Structure 1
């Protein structure tokens, strides 16, 4: 992680004009430091592993290697990395692959500057971040999942302690660790400990995956 800022970002987009626009938006936030830029997935993997940014802001359609395969390579080698997909394209195929591949969030380039900055901070703090339209589609898809998958999610949740289920429900409501700590009157370190146990018991890759299980199990309602 960058020593210059507690929130370092790696920009990955093949369009130099898009990168310039993102640079301007992110530079307006004094808590964010841009520590690198990449124009393709191959370069993104190299910089992500070497610089260890807090958040990787990743485009999808790029030459040499697309953003989703680059994300998968990064997370294979650095499972703790946080990748926020930022794309013009919201096709179901992309959303499904991003979520199953371990993305910490999925935002559309049509999002406003404040929404994007909020998403970066949320991901950095350990929360999930989805554009409203993407979140709606993900939730609708969860609702349509077969009974066996719903039953499995409920079974997994039953293996959690009461406190862990409370934490998971708040994760599903997109709260950060700090916000959960305040809500449940716990220390942030205690919440992090609960999150580690929750992810392990659920077999979830990250908070997005855990949040989807919370929806399927009925702990969270849209």
Structure 2
């Protein structure tokens, strides 16, 4: 995405007051443009297909169809879509389903404005975004995973080249392609090429999947 092109947002939440608050925060950033709003998952699916936003900011608990169901339907139609889950509920079952369902990020509504804006830009640029509290839950869960799963992650990572492992570690640290390129003194095109190879070798659906494997393999430490 061009630096001059605003990040287009589809805002999805059944609470009009919440939408108004989010709208005010997002509107404070000239690099963000809200192109649509939906009050339920069914409407979100319709607008996502018609508007093709850069990022879909999605609530979880909504009438007719919840945010996770809507996300799964949207990604089924457009696997390249980027969904950032935003909710007041931090239960692990929501986190697990959001991550395994293909979400690019997960933020709590109690997150500050700067954290929200940063997450929107990160997801738009291809990075994963987890609020610190969500990341802490994920890390704690990774520590509790059985040894066979940890061994599998380490085995997958061993199939990567040294450079690919370096890139994966930075993905796990939530860096964007541009930031990884700067850190490793590479072009963004080269980083994108490495990411394509990494996702293929790991069998990862997206950068969040890859980041979790990086945590399990011990490439990233809290």
Calculate the TM-score normalised by the size of structure 2. 0.97
Unmatched segments (≥5 aa) in structure 1: none
Separation in 2 of the partners of 1:50 and 1:162? 42
Instruction: Tell me which residue corresponds to 1:36.
Output: 36
Alignment of 1:1-222 (within 5 A): 5-222=5-222
Tell me how far 1:162 sits from its aligned partner: 1.1
Separation in 2 of the partners of 1:143 and 1:109? 26
Separation in 2 of the partners of 1:123 and 1:29? 15
Tell me how far 1:5 sits from its aligned partner: 3.8
Separation in 1 of the partners of 2:74 and 2:42? 10
The answer to whether the Cα contact below 8 Å between 2:6 and 2:30 also exists between their aligned partners in 1 is no
The answer to whether the Cα contact below 8 Å between 1:5 and 1:33 also exists between their aligned partners in 2 is no
Separation in 1 of the partners of 2:23 and 2:210? 31
Separation in 2 of the partners of 1:213 and 1:159? 13
Tell me how far 1:101 sits from its aligned partner: 0.5
Calculate the TM-score normalised by the size of structure 1. 0.97
Q: How many pairs align?
A: 220
Tell me how far 1:6 sits from its aligned partner: 3.4
